[in-house]
Structure 1
């Protein structure tokens, strides 16, 4: 990474650039109680974002809407989010439900209504075709859309990427990812947790260009008879174990593996960038987010190797920002970056196109397995769900 690129990347991180919104933004929140609710605080977060005011909320569930009205302190409430978009003149729309089934419709409606910004719960949507529609709608309206893979806003990434680009861990050999591997092992783990991993991995490798994958059910290759409708409206899924390998634009492969009930979730969930002279470890959503271990990852050492932290202050530096984890976990930094993206007419650090890439990668794993684990190229030719209609 050259100095110009490094400075540009640094300027995009509001925690380091000292950015503050220059005017007030009207926020409309879309939730759906019983169908994904309000995600990971994507409703209440706006009460903490400088320059933002929640002016309306929509929830198709009457009891949920009543609770949201009280919790958010707004009187402008709607059972139909389309009515909210038509009548409330909002600048930013929070698409908050965790369930995927309505993400496309909600985001497209927000863009068509003229929203300047959208902040979406992850996963982005269910299929590449849905992702195509969201990206196209936002491009047509000029809407800036950010996806809540909040680790993409961690300032430690600046220093980790600089370390990689300057050869600090030698030649990068691969990126290895695992989900939480709780009861959601396999395809659901890939959707719900693995999208965090894949989104972060491609920040270092560039876009994925091909995939080979295998899904297993009780240790045997999954068949059409194993296909069920996944939890959280994730669409067709099969099996409780998944192993995928992605080729990327840079030539660095990304591996994702998930086995149901394979270990301690907090230990498993994350990724490692493995180089010839060390590796960088990321533990998704934990306060101690990134560490580097120097030395060959395969050669035995006579002395213990130190796990050196990578913080917003740099490699081996103590974290100088005592509120950083709170502002990341609470989505404050992503929200500030979305506002900056609107004002500066640029993509957010994790944009709709980044979200679309993770959807493409998830569906590519399913497509490969359906085709006897054959290599499938990205972008996928079939833009629908690969397991739909599998016989």
Structure 2
């Protein structure tokens, strides 16, 4: 940790945070930071003029069209990296050169090799690195972990986790051209396994310890250049738990009310995350959805905190990161944790590829 910066934090009433990338998730982080006590957000960067205008309207004093220029021009304590994955490594390296701690949107990197490069740069500069793995902060998932750890269901031999989204194309009918990078495997690092499965790997290791990927299948329900569905069979040796993970970016007309389902089958009972949803979850989600539809019609900004159930988790993850850097502590979800989730995803990709190759080389037998 940079001791000069630590002195700045302890002698100042607020932590100065810049936001690199203010698209959809970047606006979530921006509004979280603006609402956070003891945090000042003087600047944001984005290549798109409409995003910069939106950030200014939200309350940022200065905007830049290039994040490197922001890091060179502003006196920051920390930066939120909410850029597409192909820019994460460069942004972290630029922040490290400026002595600025970083909170990085998932996936942390596109590969473990890239993650190693980022962590080396951070370590050399003495900066803290946090990763936005928010499933750990959702109250339903926290409820599952607490109940599991109290031992009330005993040994858990089997578990399942599913995470769904409507993908880069959005809901039908598609009326706007989607961004290019989510459909570019080189830019994104992968498809739904990296976009959605990465959350699942992180929370499963949080629950069960080390994971071993045993088999995996990946595929496309639509004709896309990246996978939009993946299923992975996992073994957790510390707890002797077999786990099925499924993630999918489907072109839903209407997403399921809960896009993450986690279920633990214990020998004396079952734990499901649905048991720990807030009592007003469905009503709040419906109300927020209607309000956001109305905002699109009127041209006003939608409320990025609705449904608050999901987006409050982003706030809490960022708040934990801020507390950690203020106290010169390792962030609760650090860069090394982001790399671990990538390792599991890479193994799943490799396993799926080997499985496909084995199927292709099976000799045809005729009688």
Confirm or deny a common fold (TM above 0.5).
yes
Specify the SS of the correspondent of 2:75.
Answer: coil
Give the TM-score, by structure 1 length: 0.66
- Give the alignment of 1:1-391 within 5 angstroms: 23-31=13-21, 36=23, 38-39=25-26, 41-75=28-62, 77-97=63-83, 99-115=84-100, 117-154=101-138, 160-180=144-164, 182=166, 188-217=191-220, 228=225, 237-238=226-227, 240-250=228-238, 251-258=240-247, 260=250, 265-267=256-258, 269-282=260-273, 287=278, 329=312, 331-372=314-355
The answer to whether the 8 Å contact 1:341/1:347 transfers is yes
Contact kept? 2:163, 2:196, Cα under 8 Å: yes
What is the match of residue 181 of structure 2?
none
> 1:190, CA displacement in angstroms?
2.6
- Contact 1:197 1:271 survives alignment (8 Å): no
When you count helix as a share of all residues, which structure comes out higher? 2
Give the secondary-structure state (helix, strand or coil) at the position aligned to 1:253: strand
Q: What is the RMSD of the two structures over their aligned residues, measured on CA atoms?
A: 3.7
Residue aligned with 1:256, SS:
strand
Which consecutive residues of structure 2, in runs of 5 or more, have no partner in the other structure? 1-10, 170-189, 282-306, 359-367
Pair 1:277–1:103, CA change in 2 (3 A):
same
Indicate conservation of the 8 Å contact 2:140/2:277, yes or no.
no
Deviation sequence 1:107-134 (CA, Å, 0-9, x none): 222123111x322222222111122222
Q: Bigger shift: 83-92 or 276-285?
A: 276-285
Secondary structure at the counterpart of residue 355 of structure 2: coil
CA spacing shift, 1:114–1:283, aligned 2, 3 Å: farther
With normalisation by structure 2, the TM-score equals 0.70
**Structure 1 Cα separation of the partners of residues 149 and 143 of structure 2:** 10
Quote the Cα distance in structure 1 between the aligned partners of 2:96 and 2:37: 23
Report the CA distance between 1:24 and its aligned residue: 1.0
Residues paired across the two proteins, number: 301
How many angstroms does 1:277 deviate by? 1.5
Q: Relative to structure 1, is the Cα distance of residues 326 and 53 closer, same or farther in structure 2, using a 3 angstrom cutoff?
A: farther
